[in-house]
Structure 1
Amino acid sequence: MRTPRLLTTAALAVASAGLLAPTAAAVAAAPGGLEIVPATVTPGSTVTVNTTACGSGGTASGDASAVGAGTFTLAPGTPDEKATGRFKVPPSAQPGTYEIVAKCSGSGAGSKQVTGDLIVTITSTAAVPQQRPVAPKGHVKTGVGGALGPDPVQTAAGVAALAVAAAGGTWLLHRRARGDRI
């Protein structure tokens, strides 16, 4: 009996989380809001701001002083009734989320105000082409020979020399232990 209760509780939790948390598409598609492109930038970037809140032919006064960019103008410029403006994020801007404000002006718009968030980061959001790592080739030129050098004949000669030295050392130690003189 415990399993159905746990499954029901889990299903309700998932359903309520989905209902309470708005999706990114729902937030971005809010009609008449302030669209900021790109929404995440690095200091020194240029940002474009669009809104349909001011109506056909409407203009707006933009305020990006929160990020240190000052004011800018949004003018009608596209056939889909968007007022568009641009500003540059200062190179001294610190990472964080900043509220950008646009206040409509002109006929029929009244004093409508719309806002949007701009995120400033230190790291670039642009796609950086990935370079494939290059595997090292050849031998390391350190001046010290290796066991797996380029010449197997030299390697065999080195192993033979070590074997002769070990055998000679063992023979000398054995004679010394017996008390034999050389």
Structure 2
Amino acid sequence: MRRTAARLLTGTALAVTVAGSAVTVAFAAPAAPAFAGTGSSGNGALEVYPATVTPGTQVTVNTTACGAGGTAAGDASAVGAGAFVLAPGTHEEVAVGQFRVPPGAQPGTYEIVARCDGEVSGPQVSGDLVVTLTSTRPPVRPRGSVKTGVGGALGPDPVQTAAGVAALAVAAAGGTWLLHRRARGDRI
């Protein structure tokens, strides 16, 4: 897992002055903004999409740190997905790769790393992937009809629908006639 606090402190200088019984604390901001996703090259970050996933989800990563036509060797072994390749994408200077989060992945924050040109000395970039057990997407509601083989009053064939309605009307009329005769005492 990533040590975010250590990275945040490396981008900020802290000065403490003790004069007598008074303590003065001063913070100095870095000359360039510290971005948690940048690697040692500082040329770009490893963007992870979607950043929050459930186990079994396909994840896409991309970076501009490798330059035009650059490739990278990705490593998602922290989450259990192993190695993957980033290749030049459709946009200029963007390397893109994909991996699938294993179904047995545990919830947590994982660091995904890519090294440009697949070399040990190449620039390294990283990004965070958050695995949860609940989906952040809204549930999909079912639409349409279910094929049960029984049919329905609003089926696709109007002739069959009319025949079914007529059969129900005849049965209702016959049942009413029989009940009426029985109430009068007529023998059937």
- TM-score, scaled relative to structure 1: 0.53
Residue in structure 2 matched with residue 127 of structure 1 by the alignment:
138
Deviations 1:31-55 (A, max 9, x none): 5100000000000000000000000
CA contact (8 A) 2:116 2:122 kept: yes
* Distance in 1 of aligned mates of 2:92 and 2:112: 22
Residue in structure 2 matched with residue 88 of structure 1 by the alignment:
100
Deviations 1:1-44 (A, max 9, x none): xxxxxxxxxxxxxxx9xx89xx9xx7679851000000000000
Q: Secondary structure at the match of 1:98?
A: strand
Mark the runs of 5 or more structure 2 residues left unpaired by the alignment: 1-25, 142-188
Residue in structure 2 matched with residue 113 of structure 1 by the alignment:
124
CA RMSD of aligned residues (A): 3.2
Please identify which structure carries the higher helix content: 1
* Distance in 2 of aligned mates of 1:47 and 1:129: 20
CA contact (8 A) 2:61 2:98 kept: yes
- TM-score, scaled relative to structure 2: 0.51
How do 1:93-104 and structure 2 match up within 5 A?
Answer: 93-104=105-116
CA contact (8 A) 1:58 1:106 kept: no
CA contact (8 A) 1:34 1:102 kept: yes
Q: Does residue 49 of structure 2 align to residue 40 of structure 1?
A: no
Deviations 1:80-121 (A, max 9, x none): 3100000000000000000000000179xx610000000000
CA pair 69-58 structure 1, distance change in 2 beyond 3 A: same
Residue in structure 1 matched with residue 6 of structure 2 by the alignment:
none
Q: Percent identity?
A: 63
* Distance in 1 of aligned mates of 2:64 and 2:140: 36
- Give the residue type in structure 2 aligned to 1:44: G
Tell me the number of residue pairs that the alignment of Structure 1 and Structure 2 aligns. 109
Deviation at 1:78, TM superposition (A): 1.8
Which of 57, 81, 103 is the aligned partner of 1:69?
81
Please identify which structure carries the higher strand content: 2
CA contact (8 A) 2:107 2:133 kept: yes
Q: Secondary structure at the match of 2:84?
A: strand
